[in-house]
Amino acid sequence: MTSVATRPGSGPVIQPADRQQVAEGVRQARQTGVSLGAPAADQSWDFSALTAEVLLNPPDMILTAETGHTLAHLKSTAAASGLWLPLDSCHPGPLSLAQYLAEDWSLSWLSQTYGTLRDWVMELSAINDRGEPVRSGARVVKNVAGYHLAPLYIGARHALGPVVEVSLRLIPSPAGLQRVRWSASNPNPLLDIWLQSAQAQRPEGNSNPWVALRLSGAGDRWSLEGLTQLSPDIAKSWADATTRSGPATVDRCAQPADEPALEGRPLLSAHCLPSRLRAVIAAAAEQHLPLVAYPGVGALIVHDGGRGESVQDRALTAWGAVLAAQEGWVRPLAGATLPAGLPRRPDDNAAQLAEVKSILDPDGLFGPMPEL
Amino acid sequence: MTLSPSLVRQLRRAVGAEHVDTGLAETQLFASDGLTLHQARPAGVVYPTSTAEVAAVVAACLAADTPFVARGAGTGLSGGAISDGGVIIQLSRMNQVLDIRPEDRYAVVQPGVVNSYLSLQTRPYGLEFAPDPSSQAACTIGGNVAENAGGPHTLKQGVTVNHVLGQKVVLATGRVASFGGPWHAATGPAFGSFLVGSEGTIAITTEVTVRLVPTPAHVITMLATYEAVGGATDSVSAILAAGILPAALEFIDKLCIQAVEAHLKVGFPTSAAAVLLIELDGDKALNSGQAVTVEALCRDNGASDFRRARSAEERQRLWLGRKHAAGAIGKISPAYYTNDGVVPRSRLTDILTQIYRIGKNYRLQVGNICHAGDGNIHPVILFDPDTADGADRAFACSADILTACLEMGGSLTGEHGIGLEKRDLMPRMYTPADLEQMRRLRDGLNPAGLLNPCKVLPEGARCGEVRGQATLPEGTWI
């Protein structure tokens, strides 16, 4: 097993060559009393060498991969067989499956139609605190045999045990996608377009014209863009008819396009009811907070706009008060330090996850869960 | 097998004396779910109407060290909602749709709301609850959550867990908690999602927030007829390989077709070896183009006839036939055992060939209904319960079929759950370490072991065998 020191202030990084080495690393850590995980643990994982061959029999529409593979590689592997993994991320930069899963970066412009990572993981393999491989689920597109542990592991930063392999459900790659884009100097006309598309001005015979949709921007530069499966003529006429801010740009896509990357470091995701999102976005715009929003699911990601630490705590706090008034809440991303007072998830999820953590990792071998 | 007088007093205090049954006849009604091969009589049944009442019942049972099991409509098919000498918490009085928010596409319901009733309530808003198990006219949302129910339209829309946003529950420890809420696409670890499909062994769901999806504005329903089973299963692969994701892709074989026609006369061809029921929904222009492709693919793969439903009524008749295909077997056999397994999609032809062979080995007829697009099979095993070994042969036949599913890389169950039925087959699917990890979690979250004991995971001698027919004393009137 390779162990290399990396980032200042963090402990050594363990880079196992295969799953057996992950298990061995856990057993050794257990013997020596060293905690594993990220970011507060003594040692953290680098799964980039866990790249055994991706298993894909196209007719089965299930892809099985070790977690060192990048999400982009898995999507291109599926695409080569005419299949699609309808997961995306606005994360700036490539992500391994282990990183994608650890933080759960799956809130994306596809979420309104396809949900998030936990909707696509059919089987998950991890190493438990005893250094044993454990698995739940199956490599089929439908399964309810036993307890499905994936919803507990996704986003847990490997704090219940390192996740070494997952099987993901795929779907046929949608044909005839169009990419539609509008620009405006403020978010309001763009939100109107979304509302109209979601309600009154649906093209005939189609209940949901959007495969993907997002609104992004800051200051006086905003855009609404998405993917639609409508025929080109319908997409063009519908797009033009629903905009007050000039004709839309409509481009044909040979493959489902990826979501554009954030132009900054993500700080938090925020969640509220879709009907409350306009007020939340308006408050963010007023505070000059750069963001990408997903109107169909009432969620958004606030980032720093590439300005390092220039997003002011004061601006976040002021915006957070509006979010709280709209019954929304935030989830810090990638260990971002947020000002106190931002509303947090108002249910019992964290308390129960603490109990799960104490059951599956009673000695705290794997470091803390981000939610706790 | 009676409850202590003090527990009965506590239960009556919790839900009202008139909502506690301990009589032999009343409790016998709850001795099985839809899988009547497993029977166990509870000692009492309570009918709460609120989360607080459920919590009070749970507290009383915990104090009295008495097992308790939540139950909806009892349509489950894995023996998951029965109790041998414990208390059944019957949730059918918790049947209110509490809120519908069309602008935010969610509804809040009590667990006793019937699946199809919810969609009836939301349809005026152009919305519906997508999971549609065949029992949807009777099964309840709480049961759907417990079993992570599916149905024909989950091929495109996903199963129950993909449509549950939040839950209020009474945990096995008696504590009331809520997980999730009306927020869509919340990321991160989610205890609520873990609960969906945990078969009522970790918590009792008392309120559910469900996602609503737009009712498809345009639908095309088609029926393809085949003279050979392989043509139908090959068509399934061909349709998906062509990049088409139908809303539903259902397989029905000859025996089930004949049972349906004997019972309902929906227009299935009785001489066919199999039919595929295929439904497309979404954009009208896209649907129309895909329907042409689907017909061509089906004919290329041996469809001898292909027709589209020309009216809403015709569509409804075709779906009536599909959804009652298992039940219709009751018209041609004194008893039947509906099973549930999954194989990788590419192995559908192989598993059907195996099923017919296994049935022959046991001298049993086996019909087949499949959510073919999901690789989810429902063999229906016909047997005569009055013969000495009829039920035993049906069980053995079922075990062989499920073993064949596992040998093909599949699963013991796609939507019925493990319950009691498949508990002892779990070691064939999972390693001891896998099962131990599940057991640690289950036992840690259900520390007294009183909430729906003996289900899902293989157990020791503490959990008795409950297979077989429970009988009432002669002269009992129901």
Q: Secondary structure of B9-36 in the HEC alphabet?
A: HHHHHHHCHHHEECCHHHHHCCCCCCCC
Q: What residues are paired with A135 via a beta bridge?
A: A125
Q: Please, which residues 348-387 of chain B have a Cβ atom closer than 8 Å to chain A?
A: 371, 374-376
Q: B311: which 2 tokens?
A: 């009216």
Q: Which of B192, B413, B434 sits opposite A135 (nearest CB)?
A: B434
- Whether B262 has its CB under 8 Å from any CB of chain A: the answer is no
For residue A104, the chain B residues in CB contact (below 8 A) are 187-189
By Cβ distance, the residue of B215, B412, B438 closest to A136 is B438
Mean pLDDT of B214-232: 95
Residues A131 and A192 in one domain: no
Q: Is the predicted pLDDT of residue B285 greater than 50, yes or no?
A: yes
Q: Tell which of A115, A142, A173 closes a domain.
A: A173
Which residues of A are less than 8 Å from B429 in CB distance? 138, 145-146
Residue B304: left (phi > 0), alpha (psi -120 to 50), or beta? alpha
Query: How close B187 comes to chain A (CA, Å)?
Result: 6
Question: Do A54 and A151 lie in a common domain?
Answer: yes
Taken in order of first residue, the domains within chain B and their CATH numbers are 5-90 (3.30.43.10), 97-214 (3.30.465.10), 219-322 (3.30.70.2190), 328-407 (3.30.70.2740)
What is the rounded average pLDDT of the residues B63-92? 97
Answer whether B185 sits within 8 Å of A141, measured CB to CB. Answer: no
Work out the minimum CA distance from B294 to partner chain A, whole angstroms.
14
Q: Which of B437, B446, B451, B452 has the most A C-beta neighbours within 10 Å, making it the best mutation to test the interface with A?
A: B437
pLDDT band at B189 (very low <50, low <70, confident <90, very high): very high
Q: Which among A103, A125, A143, A167 is the top mutation candidate for probing chain B, defined by the most B β-carbons within 10 Å of its own β-carbon? A: A143
In a domain, A343, yes or no: no
Contact B405/B379 with Cβ under 8 angstroms? no
Q: What confidence tens digit (pLDDT) does each residue in A327-367 have?
A: 999 999 988 888 998 999 999 999 999 999 999 999 999 98
Tell me which chain B residue has its CA closest to the CA of residue A58.
Answer: B241
Choosing from A225, A253, A281, the residue where a domain stops is A253
Query: How many of the other CB atoms lie within 10 Å of CB of A346?
Result: 12
How far apart are the C-alpha atoms of A232 and B417, rounded to whole Å? 44
Q: Using CB atoms, pick whichever of B158, B185, B416 lies closest to residue A107.
A: B185
Closest CA to B397 of B346, B349, B343, B341: B341
| Domain shared by A238 and A324, yes or no | no
Q: What is the ipTM of this complex?
A: 0.94
Q: Answer whether residue A185 is part of any domain.
A: yes
User: Is A162 among the domain residues?
Assistant: yes
pLDDT in tens, A53-108: 999 999 999 999 999 999 999 999 999 999 999 999 989 888 999 999 999 999 99
Are A54 and A195 contained in the same domain?
Answer: no
| pLDDT at residue A240 in the model | 76
Establish if B173 touches chain A: CB-CB under 8 angstroms.
no
Say how far residue B301 (Cα) sits from the centre of its chain: 31
**Alpha-carbon gap: B281 to the closest alpha carbon of chain A (Å):** 9
Question: Are B284 and A119 within 8 A, CB to CB?
Answer: no
Partner-chain contact A145 B375, CB within 8 Å: no
Q: Is B464 in CB contact (< 8 Å) with chain A?
A: no
Q: What is the mean pLDDT of residues B353-367?
A: 97
Partner A contacted by B194 (CB < 8 A): yes
Give the gap in angstroms from C-alpha B468 to the nearest C-alpha of chain A: 23
Contacts of A233 in chain B (CB under 8 A): none
Same domain, A6 and A51: yes
Tell me the CA distances in angstroms from B106 to A223, B13, B119, B127, B272, one per residue in order: 27, 35, 12, 9, 42
Is B182's Cβ below 8 Å from some Cβ in A? yes
If asked whether residues A237 and A298 sit together in one domain, one would say no
Judging contacts by C-beta atoms under 8 Å, the chain B residues touching residue A138 are 342, 409-411, 429
Task: Give the rounded percent of residues in chain B with a pLDDT score beyond 90.
Answer: 90
Same domain for A283 and A246? no
Number of domains in chain A: 3
Amino acid at A210: W
Would you call A355 and B105 a contact, using CB atoms and an 8 Å cutoff?
A: no
Best CA proximity match to A276, nearest among B308, B182, B471, B457: B182
Query: A136 and chain B: CB distance < 8 Å anywhere?
Result: yes
pLDDT digits (tens, 9 = 90+) for B238-276: 999 998 999 999 999 999 999 999 989 999 999 999 999
**Distance in angstroms (rounded) separating the CA atoms of residues B73 and B81:** 10
Running DSSP on this structure, what letter comes out for residue B424?
Answer: G
pLDDT tens-digit series, residues B141-174? 999 999 999 999 999 999 999 999 999 999 999 9
Q: Do B346 and A60 touch (CB under 8 A)?
A: yes
Does one domain contain both A44 and A97? yes
| Cβ within 8 Å, pair A107-B187 | yes
> Do residues A54 and A87 share a domain?
yes
Q: Does B467 have pLDDT greater than 60?
A: no
Q: Find the mean pLDDT for residues A242-249.
A: 70
Q: Is residue B206 predicted with pLDDT exceeding 90?
A: yes
Task: Confirm or reject contact between A344 and chain B (CB < 8 A).
Answer: no
Q: What is the CATH number of the domain that holds A71?
A: 3.30.465.10
Higher pLDDT, A248 or A128: A128
pLDDT at residue A243, rounded to an integer: 67
Q: For chain A, say whether B174 makes contact (Cβ under 8 Å).
A: no
Q: Is there a domain that residue A217 lies in?
A: yes
Domain boundary among A173, A197, A226: A173
Q: Which residues of B touch A58 (CB under 8 A)?
A: 241
A140–B344: do the CB atoms touch at under 8 Å? yes
- Judged against a pLDDT cut of 60, whether residue A6 lies above it is answered with no
Q: How confident is the model at residue A201 (pLDDT cuts 50, 70, 90)?
A: very low
Cβ-defined contact of B429 to A347 (cutoff 8 Å): no
What does pLDDT average to over chain B? Answer: 94
Q: Is A335 helix (H, G, I), strand (E, B) or coil?
A: coil
Same domain, A192 and A82: no
Chain A neighbors of B186, CB-CB under 8 A? 271, 299, 331, 345
Does A272 share its domain with A211?
Answer: no
Q: For chain B, say whether A308 makes contact (Cβ under 8 Å).
A: no
Any B CB within 8 A of A275 CB: yes
A344 belongs to a structural domain: no
Flag whether residue B289 sits within 8 Å of chain A, measured between CB atoms.
Answer: no
- What chain B residue is nearest to A195 in terms of C-alpha separation? B103
Q: Which of B191, B374, B430 sits opposite A349 (nearest CB)?
A: B191
pLDDT band at A210 (very low <50, low <70, confident <90, very high): confident
Q: Which residues contact B65 (CB under 8 A, 6 or more apart)?
A: B448, B450
pLDDT beyond 90 at B5 = yes
- The CATH number of residue A244's host domain is 3.30.70
Is the four-CA dihedral A336, A339, A345, A350 of positive or negative sign? positive
pLDDT of residue B37: 86
- A30-39 tens-digit pLDDT: 999 888 875 5
Chain B residues within an 8 Å CB radius of A115: 158, 162, 185
Query: Which residue in A has a C-alpha nearest to residue B405's C-alpha?
Result: A140
- A73 Cβ contact list (under 8 Å, min separation 6): A54
CB contact under 8 A, A111 and B429: no
Segment B5-10 shows an average pLDDT of 98
Share of chain A above pLDDT 90, in %: 66
User: How confident is the model at residue A5, as a pLDDT?
Assistant: 46
pLDDT in tens, B172-184: 999 999 999 999 9
- The shortest C-alpha distance from B142 to chain A (Å) reads 16
How confident is the model at residue A254, as a pLDDT?
74
B186 in contact with A, Cβ within 8 Å: yes
Residues A215, A293 contacting (CB under 8 angstroms): yes
What's the whole-model pTM score?
A: 0.95
Interface check for B410 against chain A (CB to CB < 8 A): the answer is yes
Predicted confidence at residue B471, as pLDDT, reads 52
Query: Do A70 and A193 belong together in one domain?
Result: no
Reply yes or no on whether the pLDDT at B97 is more than 70. Answer: yes
User: Cβ contacts (< 8 Å) between A273 and chain B: which residues?
Assistant: 101, 104, 182-183
Q: Is residue A138 one of the residues assigned to a domain? A: yes
Q: Where in the sequence is the domain holding A223, given as residue range(s)?
A: 177-253
Residue A99 tokens, joined:
């990183």
Total number of residues shown for chain A: 372
Query: How far apart are the C-alpha atoms of A176 and A268, rounded to whole Å?
Result: 34
Sign of CA dihedral A177, A182, A187, A192: negative
Query: Which H or E run includes B369?
Result: strand B366-371
Helices B390-407/B348-361 angle, 10° precision: 150
**Which residue do the tokens 């129910």 mark?**
B149
